[in-house]
């Protein structure tokens, strides 16, 4: 039984520049619209320059600290395959990983000092309930490769049996007016992968 969105802790991970902050802002707005307690913790500055980025979102009365401790996340929403594996320690036993299958090589892999880990989808599935989403391809299909974040949120909406209208309201409040349409399209494509 996967967690719903009433009392939930979500860790968003990705690579700096992938749009993780927008995803957390949308989830924050989603919580605010519901009148629920919301705590969000973001990373700014140095960590945004192509490094690993971690954002925490907690909705519901149980949220005291804005951080999510090891073993306490209901969901890991990962924008990059390797980052999903790196973030596994956050996951609650019985929690779910939703990850983009896109691979972005860190500098050590680019220079050949390290290799990009193999068989990650299988290794993730072995350790946790894992949903693989080709979010980059779906974002491209929606007409905006930067909309990986909305595809993943769509998958989360479907997984939590959410009311799409409620999500779309939060999205519309957070993205610039001119890009609402493409973002909603990416979101919709995300809801269809579940």
Partner 1 sequence: MPQKLMLGNEAAARGAWEAGVRLVSSYPGTPSTEITEYASKYPEIYAEWAANEKVALEVAAGASMGGARALCCMKHVGVNVAADPLYTLSYTGVNGGLVIVAADDPGMHSSQNEQDSRMHARASQVPMLEPSDSEECRLYMKKAFEISEKYDCPVMLRTTTRIAHARSMAQMEDRQEAPVKDYQKNVSKWVMTPAFAKMRHPVVEARMDALSAEDNGLVCLEMRSCEIGVICSGMAYQYVREALPGASILKLGMVNPLPKNAIVDFAGKVRKLCVIEELEPVMEEQIASWGVRVDIGKKDTGRQGELSGRKIRTIFGLDNPEVIESPGMPARPPVLCPGCPHRGVYAVLSKLKCTVTGDIGCYTLGSSAPLSAVDSVLCMGASVGMSQGFDRARKWAGEDSRKLVAVIGDSTFLHSGVTSLLSASYNRANITLIILDNTTTGMTGHQPNPATGFDIHGEPTTRIDLEELCRACKADSVVTVPADDMAKVEAAVRGALSETGVSVIIARKACALLDKKSRKDPLHIQPDICRGCRSCMRLGCPAIAFADGHAVIDPSLCVGCGLCSQTCAFNAIVGRNV
Residues that bind partner 1 (CB under 8 A): 15-17, 28-29, 31-32, 37-52, 64-67, 69-72, 82-83, 85-89, 91-93, 105-117, 123, 127-128, 145
Cα gap 8→73, rounded to integer Å? 8
Please report how close the Cβ of residue 151 comes to partner 1 at its closest, in angstroms. 15
Provide the minimum distance between the beta carbon of 157 and partner 1 in the complex, in angstroms, as a whole number. Answer: 19
Q: Which residue's CB is nearer to partner 1, number 37 or number 172?
A: 37
CB of 26 to partner 1, least distance (A): 12
Cα–Cα distance for residue pair 131/38, rounded to 1 Å: 25
CA-CA distance, 63 to 67, in Å (whole number)? 9
Nearest to partner 1 of 29, 193 (CB atom): 29
Q: Is 107 or 163 the residue whose CB approaches partner 1 more closely? A: 107
Report in angstroms how near the CB of residue 107 gets to partner 1 at its nearest. 5
In 3D space, the residue among 189, 120, 121 whose CA is nearest the CA of residue 155 turns out to be 189
Element (H, E) at 133: strand 129-133
> CB neighbours (10 Å) of residue 184?
20
Judge whether 72 and 56 are in contact, CB under 8 Å. Answer: no
Task: Return the number of the residue (76 or 155) whose C-beta is nearest partner 1.
Answer: 76
**Token representation of residue 88:** 């596994």
Rank residues 47 and 166 by Cβ distance to partner 1 and give the closer one: 47
Please state the closest distance from residue 34 (CB atom) to partner 1, in A.
12
């Amino acid at each position: 039984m996967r967690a719903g969105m009433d009392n939930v802790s979500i860790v968003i991970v990705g690579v700096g520049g992938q749009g993780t902050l927008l995803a957390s802002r949308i989830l924050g707005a989603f919580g605010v619209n519901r009148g629920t307690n919301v705590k969000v913790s973001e990373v700014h500055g140095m960590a945004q320059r192509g490094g690993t980025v971690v954002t925490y979102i907690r909705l519901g009365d149980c949220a005291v600290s804005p951080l999510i401790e090891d073993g306490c996340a209901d969901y890991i929403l990962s924008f990059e395959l390797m980052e999903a594996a790196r973030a596994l320690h956050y996951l609650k036993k019985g929690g779910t990983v939703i990850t983009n299958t896109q691979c972005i090589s860190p500098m050590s892999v680019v220079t050949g000092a390290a290799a990009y880990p193999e068989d990650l989808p299988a290794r993730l599935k072995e350790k946790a309930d894992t949903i693989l989403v080709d979010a980059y391809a779906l974002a491209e299909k929606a007409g905006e490769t930067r909309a990986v974040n909305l595809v993943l949120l769509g998958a989360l909406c479907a997984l939590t049996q959410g009311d799409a209208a409620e999500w779309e309201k939060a999205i519309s409040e957070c993205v610039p007016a001119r890009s609402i349409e493409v973002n909603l399209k990416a979101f919709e494509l995300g809801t269809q992968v579940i």
